[in-house]
Amino acid sequence: MKKYNIAVVGATGAVGRTLLRLLVKEDFPISELTLLASARSAGRRIEFRGENLIVEEATKDSFHDIDIAFFCAGGAISKEYAQYAVASGAVVIDNSSAYRLNPEVPLVIPEVNGDAVDNHRGIIANPNCSAIIMLMALKPLLAISPIKRVVFSTYQAVSGAGNKAVSELEQQVRGYVAGSIPEAKILPSSSDDKHFQIAFNVLPQVDVFADDYYTKEELKIIKEAHKILNDETIGITGTCVRVPVFWCHSESLNIQFERFVSRQEVRDTLMNAPGVVLYDDPDKQIYPMPLDYYDEDNVYVGRIREDHTVIGGINIWIVGNQLRKGAATNALQIARLLIDKGLLL
């Protein structure tokens, strides 16, 4: 089997580490692995398949002979270096938001719009984690009936704000038990002015505020969903909220189909949807919870109910691992899709 030269930019971050774990776990066909990061993180050592790899500083010249470059280091690094990776002949799978809404860049969830990779020009964008998790459930449901409108409320894990946010929750809880909670420095967004305690709290701000009093996260979900579904007529609105959970995002969705849709139709459809697990048996208190999916790639759906306040109303509850299907797993699936389709440069 052919093997590939892989670069991971941002190897020390939350998504980068998860990606490295998955490359091992799934026995990805790697010839050489190059770990890259900003100057700040360069020099660190990371164990990979028993070897101690040194993280190198990313430069223009880091991408010679690289086949696939995973960018997991934030938008600024992607904007600076993705072009050099492409010029060197690599395909970039970019986990940042830098290129997601660029009309020349495919924004891809393999189970949802895998064919969008066909026309790539060197960069493929990995969608926002909350958007991926939502669309894994919504896309199969579109086979039942067109959807008029979706109202979402999210319950997002701290991992979505990176390793430092994960540590922040951990330290706050340890501080609480010890009698003194350390000052918040990261959440809701490290780039914003004020920071608030996440332990024993929920923060109705994910990412910074943007247009029309929505946060960037809320607008990402809406705009990315429209692009991925290639349909801007579906009304999508909602509120993003950070909760004191480590790894998995949950979402409460109210969906309005164009016609009456029964609970059973939704169940039958999701039961056969790739990457989705129907986990829905109220009689046995079976529904998805974020604590249960630390080591999971699938998206779980439960609490499926008809909402009779509108024609075609359905309420559902979905949970997915933010770092896995919400980030690293999806990126790796894109890489495999490129290989399968012979679309590497």
Residues that bind its own copies in the complex, under the rule CB under 8 A: 149, 151, 153, 155, 173-174, 176-178, 188, 192-194, 196-197, 200-205, 209, 212-214, 235-239, 241, 243-246, 250, 252, 254, 263, 282-285, 287-291, 302-310, 313, 315, 317
How far apart CA 204 and CA 253 sit, in angstroms, is 17
Residue placing its CB nearer to its own copies in the complex, 48 or 214? 214
Burial annotation 164-177 (CB, 10 A radius, 16+ → b, else e): ebbebbeebeeeee
Containing 8, the helix (H) or strand (E) segment is strand 4-9
> Is 129 marked active-site?
yes
CB 150 to its own copies: min, Å? 8
Residue placing its CB nearer to its own copies in the complex, 164 or 195? 195
CB 13 to its own copies: min, Å? 21
How far apart CA 162 and CA 73 sit, in angstroms, is 10
CB 240 to its own copies: min, Å? 9
* Dihedrals phi, psi of 197, to nearest 5 degrees: -60, 135
Catalytic residue among 72, 129, 240, 248: 129
Q: What is the DSSP string of 121-147?
A: SSEEEPPPHHHHHHHHHHHHHTTTS-E
Residue placing its CB nearer to its own copies in the complex, 105 or 314? 314
The two three-digit tokens of residue 226, written as one number: 């429209």
The two three-digit tokens of residue 53, written as one number: 């790899």
The two three-digit tokens of residue 146, written as one number: 């067109």
CB 213 to its own copies: min, Å? 4
> Is 249 marked active-site?
yes
Residue placing its CB nearer to its own copies in the complex, 56 or 307? 307
The residues near 271 (Cβ < 8 Å, ≥ 6 apart) are 278
CB 294 to its own copies: min, Å? 10
Residue placing its CB nearer to its own copies in the complex, 124 or 241? 241
- Identify the three-state secondary structure at position 207: coil
| CA count, 13 A, side-chain hemisphere, 1 | 9
Beta carbons of 331 and 126 less than 8 angstroms apart: yes
Amino acid in position 174: R
Catalytic residue among 72, 120, 248, 249: 249
Beta carbons of 58 and 9 less than 8 angstroms apart: yes
Residue placing its CB nearer to its own copies in the complex, 104 or 281? 281
User: Residue 318: beta bridge partners?
Assistant: 251, 301
- Beta strand 123-125 with 91-94 is parallel
* Dihedrals phi, psi of 172, to nearest 5 degrees: -65, -40
Residue placing its CB nearer to its own copies in the complex, 4 or 317? 317
CB 68 to its own copies: min, Å? 34
CB 149 to its own copies: min, Å? 5
Q: Supply the residues annotated as catalytic.
A: 129, 249
